[in-house]
Amino acid sequence: MNHDSYPDSYIRGILNTVKSIAMVGASEKENRPSYFAFKYLLERGYTMIPVNPSHAGGEMLGRRIRARLADIPEPIDMVDIFRASRYAVPIVQEALALTPRPQVIWMQLGVRNDEAAALAEANGLKVVMNRCPKIEYGRLSAEIAWMGVNTRTITSRKASIGGGIQRLSLNRTLARGGATDAAEQAEREDSKR
């Protein structure tokens, strides 16, 4: 995998399949980037689990903060590393010790550790480095396009936001052409309404 550039289909595939995300380095302080990303993904329907040994036992947006990945009682689909790059290898090692193992190791913006990526990939995990799932979700769902940001996706419809928590479609027609199976399925469901 070339970790300098990821195809949209790779990122979209991850965000469409994971359901639970353990955020290592999550902070309950409302002015921290990890808080914004955590809240955003929680509001999009992901099961978010905050991991921070300094705040273990406390709560973040109604979710109990765990000291380490091994303390999480349910399976994790993705580990989102919100720590400095030098901590990535031990976090990946901890993730690999879990049963079942997560499917994805995601390193936040500014976090890149090729050794950690190689270790995860050698054990069958997908890896994303130096990207933010919040930003990627907003870009691929065309949600941030509402604010004038070029997302390289084309849609004539604003996604409907009703009551309650819901995920927006990450499967829009791309500017370079083509649509994913999920986009075509969503189109069929829309036409039934």
Mean pLDDT for the stretch of residues 88-110:
98
Q: To the nearest whole number, what is the mean pLDDT of the chain?
A: 84
Q: Give every CB contact of residue 175 below 8 A, 6+ residues apart in sequence.
A: 152, 153, 154
Domains and CATH numbers, the chain: 8-135 (3.40.50.720), 141-192 (no CATH)
- Predicted local distance difference test score (pLDDT) of residue 123: 98
CB atoms within 10 A of CB 4: 8
Q: What percent of the chain has pLDDT over 90?
A: 70
Calculate Rg over the CA atoms of the chain.
Answer: 17
The verdict on pTM exceeding 0.85 is no
More confident residue, 96 or 147: 96
pLDDT exceeds 80 at position 153: no
- Predicted local distance difference test score (pLDDT) of residue 191: 59
CA-closest candidate to residue 108, choices 130, 138, 76: 130
Mean pLDDT for the stretch of residues 160-188:
48
pLDDT exceeds 60 at position 152: no
- Band the pLDDT of 192: cuts 50, 70, 90: low
- Band the pLDDT of 189: cuts 50, 70, 90: low
CB atoms within 10 A of CB 154: 13
Mean pLDDT for the stretch of residues 63-85:
97
pLDDT exceeds 70 at position 24: yes
Mean pLDDT for the stretch of residues 134-163:
63
- Predicted local distance difference test score (pLDDT) of residue 139: 87
pLDDT exceeds 80 at position 185: no
